[in-house]
Chains A and B, each alone.
Chain A
């Protein structure tokens, strides 16, 4: 505490004139040279310096003991002593500087100018520790070694300051795809499911995916803000995320408000460009319109346990599929969710995270595109999910090789009215499991299996969107990707897709790059 504060105090004094630290640095750099060039005089001066430092150290120890008795008293003494010591140190430094000035006159080196005006300055050197004295003057001067300066301390609490330093961290994500598919994605449907507007494969041919602009920064001492704007290939701009989040709540609580992706599941909270496959799993596509994001409030609590244990709950406006048509709802809160995540290291090489989630949404005259025109649904959808992820790398070193296993399963229970028909309680289910292996730096290989099934309903639903035709929908995918760096990735993916009434095959090429400020990656 004491050397630290002392260092700060002295630097504070010194920095009242901005050129003094520079001079001090010049002095620190100059000392060994002076020692090499002149010999007796600066050597003596350095000995003085060292003895003063030793004395200072002893003084500090003594002060530390006193501090425990009386803090205020100490502060006064401390300042006085500091002042005295500074004066002495200053005197010794002047002697050294003078000696060096002589040496410099003789040897017209680049270091000549730095210590010259030193005579006028008080000690700008932090008295905690200077390294100049640690390089023994007796060490032989290297012949071929590069002339690099010895390490020096940074001034305490040093930061760069400029108006633009307050700019938020800005990151841009660009995504482009090429897709070849046997069947037209525009006529996509999954038997038994009413789908949201995003729930289909990417368009055929070349297209840009979602281009994202992300801005984030601490708003003040207790708030963090994040904005992600997304531009899709139809030139539509949408606010993907816009939230504020607490940073300083006690006891492990975090509150978030605004628009964000729900914390349910594993993939849901992550941006699509960080996914290991170019498209969403079928169960996400059918149950959550790829991802559930909405306007709402989230509360998380991180338990004070030795392993990771987190609880969270959210309320949402309910504007996103499977909710919709919120305005008819009394409080304007049509969705709520709860989730718990747990995880830990298994050993140095392996770690895992598991989760359990529940999402309840209320739809009021939600409209979706169906087989026979627009479908209208009012009712409640309850989604229950489990997720698990396991990561392994030799010695926990993810640079060369690693393995990532991931699986999620959901049940979705729906009831209400569908196109004026009464829809009884019915349960759909689905899951995906995938494995991704980085077999050498920059190269990864992955496989994924998908399966979903809607509930078989009565005859009155035959021929409607909700008719599952007795089918279980399946898809198998394989991908290889190559990363040019942490910021650029090229991927090729093949899908054998039996989620449509007729089987489909898709071949996707994708690039995903990010530039701007370096984003951190979630587990």
Chain B
């Protein structure tokens, strides 16, 4: 009887030690990024001082992610969670955060960073009603398509990383400035090459492009989804097809993760091109990092516009 007790206690102590050892500070800051763009940004800022796990890919609809067991395991050891926020991840992150039992990354703690909380969001709905589709109370969360937003978030994220890991603060600051300079230079270039896009009218698949259109001075004159997250019916599509020439839409844009069929269908009927855009890092083969993502987006839009008339 006694021996059994001692064995039990020894086993418990062993387990506890193993746990303590594993909880010892690692060399690199563990970053859990909800979407690829924030993972890419964390890599830009963190370099070799961070270890980044990205929960989703550019070919997945960020609204419909499963709370996979692997994500719980990754959240368990994360030091910093970087998500879009504004309820984009509301269908899966809350349950993961609760199951991961990691106090460092719960909302409200320094280890929980929401990109959309760092900027002023557009399209904040005046009327909160699910009859309006899948709307987000805080505003449109798809800010990553505007590099100006990315610059703001980069500065704030670098500051947050420095707060959590002061030993590497100088590195985070340095890499942030380097990234910012590269992005600013590239933006000047894009501003010139994307000049023909100014004023161009487009039809989008999902209301996920407002920030991109805002940056490039383009205009959305219709959406294939009648309401955010609601697939189109045939009556609605007929109405949309009727409107496209009247409103002067030049192309239809949709994200890499979306089914190309509805966009292609409408584009073919309307006689305008359907342009697939990466939407995030990794959405296309050419968008391997953030600069490549913007570069590829601008390039695809220009190709969709065709030669100047």
- Please report A residues at the B interface, Cβ cutoff 8 Å: 1-5, 7, 25, 57, 60-61, 64-65, 67-68, 128-129, 131, 134, 136, 139-140, 142-146, 148, 150-154, 156, 158, 224, 245-254, 300, 302, 304-310, 341-345, 348, 351-353, 391, 395-400, 441-442, 485-487, 515, 518, 520-523
- CB nearest neighbor in A for B143: A151
CB distance from B257 to the nearest CB of A (A): 6
Known: A131-B152, A154-B117. A308 touches B106 (CB 8 A): no
Q: Can you list 22 pairs linking A and B with CB atoms under 8 Å apart?
A: A4-B159, A5-B159, A67-B169, A128-B156, A134-B148, A140-B195, A143-B199, A252-B19, A252-B76, A254-B99, A302-B73, A302-B99, A304-B19, A304-B22, A307-B70, A343-B68, A345-B70, A351-B70, A485-B133, A518-B87, A520-B67, A523-B69
CB distance from A286 to the nearest CB of B (A): 28
Q: Mark B198-233, 1 if CB is under 8 A from A, else 0.
A: 110100000000010110011100000000011100
> Contacting chain A: which of B1-9, B56-64, B271-279, B301-309?
B56-64
- Lowest 5 CB-CB distances: which A-B pairs, in order? A4-B159, A343-B69, A308-B69, A1-B162, A145-B217
CB distance from B288 to the nearest CB of A (A): 16
Identify which of A25, A139, A309 contacts B73 (C-beta below 8 A).
A309
Q: Are B69 and A353 neighbours in the complex by a CB distance under 8 Å?
A: yes
For B159, list chain A residues within 8 Å (CB). Answer: 1-5, 7, 128
Known: A4-B162, A520-B90, A523-B67. A308 touches B72 (CB 8 A): yes
In the complex, what distance in Å separates the CA atom of A251 from the CA atom of B19? 7
Q: Are A252 and B101 neighbours in the complex by a CB distance under 8 Å?
A: yes
Q: Are A304 and B23 neighbours in the complex by a CB distance under 8 Å?
A: yes
Secondary structure type dominating chain B contacts = helix
- CB nearest neighbor in A for B69: A343
Identify which of A60, A153, A249, A395 contacts B60 (C-beta below 8 A).
A395
- Please report B residues at the A interface, Cβ cutoff 8 Å: 19-20, 22-23, 56-57, 59-61, 63-70, 72-73, 76-77, 87, 90-96, 98-103, 106, 117-120, 122, 130, 133-134, 143, 146, 148-149, 151-152, 155-156, 158-160, 162-163, 166, 169-170, 173, 177, 184, 187-188, 191, 195, 198-199, 201, 211, 213-214, 217-219, 229-231, 257-259
Q: Are B69 and A397 neighbours in the complex by a CB distance under 8 Å?
A: no
Q: Are B230 and A154 neighbours in the complex by a CB distance under 8 Å?
A: no
CB distance from A332 to the nearest CB of B (A): 25
CB distance from B181 to the nearest CB of A (A): 11
In the complex, what distance in Å separates the CA atom of A454 from the CA atom of B57? 48
For B146, list chain A residues within 8 Å (CB). Answer: 151
Q: Are A485 and B130 neighbours in the complex by a CB distance under 8 Å?
A: yes
- CB nearest neighbor in B for A146: B219
CB distance from A487 to the nearest CB of B (A): 6
- CB nearest neighbor in A for B229: A485
For B66, list chain A residues within 8 Å (CB). Answer: 351, 391, 398, 521, 523
Q: Are B155 and A65 neighbours in the complex by a CB distance under 8 Å?
A: no
Q: Are A345 and B68 neighbours in the complex by a CB distance under 8 Å?
A: yes
Known: A145-B218, A151-B119, A250-B103. A129 touches B151 (CB 8 A): yes
CB distance from B25 to the nearest CB of A (A): 13
In the complex, what distance in Å separates the CA atom of A4 from the CA atom of B146? 22
In the complex, what distance in Å separates the CA atom of A158 from the CA atom of B134? 24
Q: Are A398 and B106 neighbours in the complex by a CB distance under 8 Å?
A: no
Q: Are A145 and B64 neighbours in the complex by a CB distance under 8 Å?
A: no
- CB nearest neighbor in A for B107: A218
For B148, list chain A residues within 8 Å (CB). Answer: 131, 134, 150-151
Identify which of B118, B191, B218 contacts A154 (C-beta below 8 A).
B118
